[in-house]
Amino acid sequence: MNRIDVPIAQLSFTQKLDLMEMLWADMAGNENNLESPAWHGAILNDREAALNAGKVTVSNWEEAKERIKKNVA
Give the CA-trace dihedral at 61, 66, 24, 38, to 10 degrees: -60
Residue range of the domain that includes 63 = 42-73
Name the pLDDT band for 34 (thresholds 50, 70, 90): confident
Distances (CA, A) of 50 to 14, 23, 56, 61: 40, 34, 6, 19
* Residue 15 confidence (pLDDT): 96
Name the pLDDT band for 65 (thresholds 50, 70, 90): very high
* Residue 31 confidence (pLDDT): 74
Report, as an integer, the average pLDDT of 6-18: 95
- Domain contains 52: yes
- Domain contains 18: no
- Domain contains 14: no
- Domain contains 72: yes
pTM for this entry: 0.47
